[in-house]
Amino acid sequence: MSKALSGSLSPHIGNLSCLREINLINNTIQGEIPREFGRLLRLEALLLSNNSLVGKIPANLSYCSGLTVLTLGCNKLEGIIPFEFVALYKLKRLALHRNNLTGGIPPFLGNLTSLKTVSLAGNSFGGNIPDSLGQLKELEALGISGNNLSGIIPPSIYNLSFLAIFS
């Protein structure tokens, strides 16, 4: 929540084992996302969008297997979407837009069948749009514009009957 907070995130937040939600959107928080967030096993929502976070997305966020919302958009994060995120099978909303993420859109996202919103626009993803995204039968919004994608839109995307936003 916007409270004009600044500074960095303390690794000691990993000691707050009963946390279910962290909402620090719209602040000027800097530095990296501490790896200790992976110790928050009860975490259901991590909202850190619109800050100045840098570095890679910690792969061990995948230990937070109860995550339903992960929003890290509008930061300065780099690297790839960690493969370990395949374990986030309860994820409904994934927002990583407007960062400096590279690589391709990982095909394993198609295995996260609870996803309703995927926002990956404004990064430097290359390659093709994975055909596996067509497995996201609950998907309502898919934002992948402003990347370096090539190829065709996979025909499987046209079978997503709940898709209302596609950019």
User: Given this model, what pLDDT does residue 49 score?
Assistant: 98
Burial class (CB in 10 A: 0-12, 13-18, 19+), 142: buried
pLDDT of residue 2: 60
Burial of 23 (0-12, 13-18, 19+ CB in 10 A): middle
pLDDT of residue 45: 98
Question: What is the model's pTM?
Answer: 0.96
Average of per-residue pLDDT across 143-160? 97
State yes or no: pLDDT of 1 exceeds 60: no
- In Å, how far are 55, 88, 146, 161 from 63, measured between CA atoms? 19, 8, 30, 31
pLDDT tier for residue 4 given thresholds of 50, 70 and 90: confident
Please name every residue paired with 28 in a beta bridge, in sequence order, or none if there are none.
Answer: 6
- pLDDT at 97 > cutoff 90: yes
- Which domains occur in the chain, in start order? 11-166 (3.80.10.10)
39-91 residue pLDDT tens? 999 999 999 999 999 999 999 999 999 999 999 999 999 999 999 999 999 99
